[in-house]
Amino acid sequence: MKKTTTRLADGRELIYYDLRDDAVHGEPDPRPLDPVATAAEIRHDRLLGDRVAIASHRQARTYHPPADECPLCPSREGRRSEIPAPDYDVAVFENRFPSLAGDHGRCEVVCFTPDHDASFADLTDAQAALVLAAWTDRTAELSQLPGVEQVFCFENRGAEIGVTLGHPHGQIYAYPFVTPRTARMLDSLAEHRAATGGGNLFDEVVEEELADGRRVVLEGEHWVAFVPYAAHWPYEVHLYPKRRVPDLLALDEAARTEFPQVYLEVLRRFDRIFDEGDGQGERTARTPYIAAWHQAPLRAEHRGDFALHLELFTIRRTSGKLKFLAGSESGMNVFINDVPPEAAAERLREVASK
């Protein structure tokens, strides 16, 4: 992997990650951009203990541009984008419309491929491994920023999720606090440790899923993917390395090598869940999803007890129907799942690649 760091016209950082060591990126950004002006602030909900990012400047962000005006495609003559290079493998840059900025964290965009019409599932093993390397490198770099407490790499895919740019990409948030979801995991981890005299809840969950087998979707030598026992979403898969590590930096070479094979297969199965095709073997629609990496907060007590894992889920519950977060979910955070986890896992096994 070759890493090249440069700056956009408004001063934002841009990093290229290339598979070839002889790749050269010296293209300037000729756009007449004004400096980024953000109004991001973090407010604390004293009743719930949550933190809310207030970011009014995001109202002006780019919204569903036509393909020939995509800001994530490589630049061409007469069409300048956020990426000045005429081609790239993976590119990461500071978001021009960040939810978190300055003393309140940082937001980055990760472009997985220059191909506007592709998706993560279309990447080769080598390309997916490069994305993993970029996630790992950015986690390391962002963890060094003053005030950052947690780094979150994720992908939103599909207009149904709320994605405003169709180009295959993800994001990275560097939070100045520990997120509520992670805090709940840490509390459960601590309670289990105390109740069992030192047992690890993550290890127990993975061991139980492997022993039961009904919800296991895919198992490799170093990774296991399963639908959790109490899945919140219609189709939800958790992907764990079998050797517990707290973050992406701690993955060994064997796990890194196997990750693309396992993850790409799971993503491709997601695209086959609902049998949306044209009868000729071609997909007519892709399954919308969120893919979220859970890493240990930087200064968490017993940090090594946390287990890195990726949670992948779709808001589609059946063909043509979405799972909406209505009264119980949005009002009380009590999820109601229409698809039994065992049935979801069985379906994901049925649509395995031939």
| Cα–Cα nearest to 310, from 210, 236, 209, 233 | 236
Helices 125-142 and 253-270 pack at an angle, to 10 degrees, of 110
Using an 8 Å Cβ cutoff, are 27 and 84 in contact? yes
Is 169 marked active-site?
yes
Using an 8 Å Cβ cutoff, are 33 and 27 in contact? no
Which of the residues 25, 167, 169, 309 is marked catalytic?
Answer: 169
CA distance 120 to 111: 10
| Cα–Cα nearest to 189, from 286, 108, 67, 304 | 304
Q: What is the number of other CB atoms lying within 10 angstroms of the CB of residue 196?
A: 11
Using an 8 Å Cβ cutoff, are 104 and 40 in contact? yes
What count of Cα atoms within 13 Å lies in the side-chain half-sphere of residue 140? 10
CA distance 303 to 185: 12
Q: Which residues are catalytic?
A: 169
